[in-house]
Structure 1
Amino acid sequence: MDSSITTGAYKIVQDVGNFTETESTRPDFNHHSDTPIKVTKSPYPNWQYGQGVPDDNKSARNTHHEIDPYAATRETVSNYRLLISAIAPRPIGFVSTVSAPDENGRTVENLAPFSYFQLIEHDPPTFVLGFSGRPGREKDTFRNLKQTGECVINTVSEGMIEAVNATSIDAPYGVSEWEISGLTKAASSTVAPAQVRESVFSVEGKVVDVKEFAPHVPGMSGAGVVLIQATRFWVKEGAANEELSHIELEELRPVAQLGGIAYGRITSVFERPRTRWAEEVGKSELLQELERRQKDQKS
C-alpha cells in the first residue's frame, strides 16, 4: 500500500515500500554551509490580547473526531502512528549505555535513538526517557539503565542522521551499534558509557527513578519511564558563547523526529519575548478588565 502525504511537489511516505525509488526523485539535501537559518517575523507580529488566531475564525470553526484509544476495535499501532504524527516535532535523545557484566565479566556497549525524550528541569538538570512496549524482549537501553544506572545523552545534528538512524536497526544482542554507525567514542568523566564525539552537546547522566507499566496488549514487553539527572555537560568547542550558557543554533543544527519515518530540520525561526503582567496590563484594556474582575471576586 502506498501510504503518503503530498507536501508541495513531493510526497512524504509513511512506509518504506518504495522509499529508495521515491527518494531518488527528490532534490539534494542543502547542507548548512549553503543554507543559513533565516530569522523572520512571527506569524502575527501585531497580535493583541484576546485575539486568538487571527485567521477570520477559520481555526475556530474546526470540527474534530473523538477517539477512544482503548476501543476494542482500535489497534495499538493506530495510537502509535497517530501520536508520533501529532506530537511533533520531538527532540531525539541519542543514548549511549553499557550493559552490566555477564558471567564472564564481558559488557556490551549500546547506542540508540529515542523520540520519547525531553528535558524536564534545569536545577537539577533532569531528563525523561520513555520506552514503549513492543513484541519480545525489552529494549537493551532500558535494561542497561535499570542494571547500571548510567548513560550519556547526545544531541543529533543534520549531518549525523544517517548514522543515528542506522543504530535503530534490530541488531542481535551483543552487536554494538557503535560499529554499525561508525560514530566516534569520547571518554566520559563520571559514567562508563562513552559520548558521541560528533555530537555538539552531550550529557553524562545517572538514573534517579524508573517507573514500569504493565503491557496493555498481551505478549508485549512492558513500557517504562526513566528519570535521569545530569552529572556533566560537554559542548563542542566554538559552538557556545564565552560563558558556555548558550549554544548557537547554526552550530547545533538539531534534527527533529516527526510522524512515520520523517525527520525535520530547522531552516527558519522567529522570536517571541515572554511577557509579564505588570508590564503589559497598562497597555491592554482586556488585561485591565480581567484584573478588575479578579479584584472584584476577592472583595
Structure 2
Amino acid sequence: MTNAPVATTTTPAEPKRFGLEDQVKRNPHPDFNKVENSRPGFETETAWKYTQIPNKDWKVGSGANDDSWKAHKKLEIDPYGEGRLPVDNYKTLISAVVPRPIGFVSTISKDGVRNLAPFSYFTIVNHDPPIFTLGFSGGRGNPKDTCQNILDTEELTINIISEWFVEAANFCSINAPIDVDEWKLSGLTPLPSSKVKPAHVAESAFSIEAKLIHSHEWKSKADENRATGVLCIVEGINFHVREDVINKDLNNLDISKLKPVSRLGGITYGRTIQGYEKLRPDFSKEEEKEEVKQLLQ
C-alpha cells in the first residue's frame, strides 16, 4: 500500500518493482511472527468512546495545552539536500503525515483482469462534486497495476477498510504480477457496481464508484527525465453504504460501527477508538470579548 516514488526495471520473470520498493525494508523485524506473538491480543472489547478534549478550559490566546515542546529544538531538513535520498523523504513523510485514510481500490484492466489494492496516498478534496485523489509510485511508463488500469479504463471503486477485514485488505498489498487477481487471494467478496465496471467490496461498509477526470505525472527533482509518480483525480459518482452504519437521513456514518483503519508509518495500522468534540469559534461573537480585543490590538 506504499507509494514509493522512483521507477526501476526488472526482468519479465520477476514481479514488477516500483522505485523505492527495493530500498524500503517492509519487514522491520528479523522474526515478525515472534514479535507479533509477544504482543497483547487484539482488544475486541474496546469500543468507540468520547472523552474530554485535552484541556476543556483552554482560553483564547493561551497556545499549546502542554509546554513540554519547549524542551526540544526543531531540526531543519532539506528534502533535496546533499546525501538525502528519496527513501529518506518517504520514510519521514509516511511516519509524519498520520493517520492517513486508506483507499482500497478495485479496478479492471483493459484485458479484463480484476485488481484490488490498498493505497494510503488517498483523500477527499471536494464534496460538490465529490472529488478524491490517489497517488501512485512509478510514472506512466512504469505504473502500478491499479494506476495503469485507471489510466486505461478511467473507472474504479474506492472502499473504506474496517477492522473486520483488515488482514484480507493488507494481503492485497502483495507485489503480484498484473495478471494475478487479488480478489481470489484475499477471499473478499465482489459486489456488482451500478455505474462502473469494477466491483466494490461487499465487506466494506462504505464504497465509492468513481471515474477518472484528470491525471498528472510527477518528475524527479534530481532527474527531470525520470518519472516518479502519478496523481489521479477521480469523481465519485455513486455510493454504497451498509444500512446499519448510516443514519436515517443518509448523511452521517456512525464511526463506532464503521471502525475505520488508518495507516501510520512503516507497516503500522491505526485504530480509531476515541475522540473528543470542540465547537468551532464564531468570529462575530469572539471579537466582542475583551480578551480577544486585547489580542487583536
TM-score by shorter chain over 0.5: yes
Partner of residue 104, structure 1: none
Partner of residue 4, structure 1: none
Does 1:77 find its partner at 2:77? no
Summarize the alignment of residues 1-299 of structure 1 with structure 2, pairs less than 5 Å apart: 15-31=28-44, 34-55=45-66, 57-101=67-111, 107-133=112-138, 137-216=142-221, 222-282=228-288, 284-289=289-294, 293=297
Matched positions, count: 270
- Letter of the 1:26 counterpart: R
Inter-partner Cα distance in structure 2 for 1:113 and 1:176: 14
CA contact (8 A) 1:138 1:221 kept: no
- Letter of the 1:69 counterpart: P
Relative to the length of structure 1, the TM-score reads 0.85
> Structure 1 residues 213 and 221, CA, compared in 2 at 3 Å: closer, same or farther?
closer
Larger radius of gyration: 1
- How far apart are residue 16 of structure 1 and its match? 3.9
Inter-partner Cα distance in structure 1 for 2:278 and 2:147: 38
> Structure 1 residues 221 and 212, CA, compared in 2 at 3 Å: closer, same or farther?
closer
Partner of residue 6, structure 1: none
- How far apart are residue 36 of structure 1 and its match? 1.8
Unaligned runs of 5+ in 2: 1-25
Inter-partner Cα distance in structure 1 for 2:177 and 2:68: 51
Inter-partner Cα distance in structure 1 for 2:47 and 2:255: 10
Q: Which moved more, 1:20-29 or 1:209-218?
A: 209-218
SS at the partner of 1:222?
strand
SS at the partner of 2:231?
strand
- How far apart are residue 269 of structure 1 and its match? 1.1
Inter-partner Cα distance in structure 2 for 1:35 and 1:181: 26
Cα deviations across residues 17-57 of structure 1 (Å, max 9, x unaligned)? 221100101111122xx2221210000111111110132x3
Instruction: Please provide the CA RMSD for this pair.
Output: 1.9
Quote the sequence identity (%): 42
Unaligned runs of 5+ in 1: 1-12, 102-106, 294-299
Inter-partner Cα distance in structure 2 for 1:220 and 1:173: 22
